[in-house]
Amino acid sequence: MNSSPDKKGLILVFTGPGKGKTTAALGILFRALGRGMKCGVVQFLKGKWETGERKFAKTITDLDFHVMGLGFTWESDDIDQDKKAARLAWEKSYEMIFSENYKILILDEITYAFHYGWLSPEEVCDALSKKPGDLHIIITGRNCPSLLTDMADLISQIESPKHPYKKGVPAQIGIDY
């Protein structure tokens, strides 16, 4: 439960088609880590490239960073494996949510697991409704289901009026990965 009336564990959702969902969530961790708050990340998708954030996370004591997903589905040849990876990612998230060890947890790209039917929004909402009172949860990913946005305290919908990709510019190291 909340230890102080000023402290409320929020559910934040960063969604929409634009760039900046995962990096906004990581920006909050940067701030919280500066406050000495222990943080966790579970990544539900693993792209084909190593990312700067994964490399950096290994150097930070107060941050537990788990990359649980497999590749993007269109890179994968085994849907059952993807489903198992999503389930394992959720089991890890659940354990972290109820461990009382963390002040902030990011469930990065969890919305893809809903999209492919690997995980049900009902199950996740049920767990979030019982989370420790002062734990903040950040959910990222496109097309967040309404069950989750309904229970969120904050939703940032990121649009994409411009993206270099549309001009054929490939992903840039340090900016995109």
Q: At closest approach, how far in Å is the CB of 142 from ligand ATP?
A: 6
Q: Do 36 and 177 contact (CB within 8 A), yes or no?
A: no
15 lies in the binding site for Mg ion (CB under 5 A): no
142 binds ligand ATP (CB under 6 A): yes
Quick check: 31 binds ligand ATP (CB under 6 A)? no
Spatial neighbors of 74 by CB under 8 A, at least 6 apart, are none
Distance between CA atoms of residues 89 and 84, nearest Å: 9
Q: Does 43 bind Mg ion (CB under 5 A)?
A: no
What is the closest distance, in whole angstroms, from the C-beta atom of residue 4 to ligand ATP in the complex? 32
What's the CA gap between 126 and 147, in Å, rounded? 10
Coil, helix or strand at residue 150: helix
The structure tokens 């929020």 sit at 10
Q: Which of residues 47-66 bind ligand ATP (CB under 6 A)?
A: none
> Does 22 help bind Mg ion (rule: CB under 5 A)?
yes
Among 60, 79, 154, 171, the residue binding ligand ATP under the rule CB under 6 A is: 171
Site string for ligand ATP, 84-113 (x = CB under 6 A): -------------------------x----
Q: Between the CA of residue 20 and those of 6, 17, 58, 120, 123, what are the distances in Å?
A: 29, 9, 22, 25, 27
Contact residues for Mg ion (CB under 5 A)? 21-22
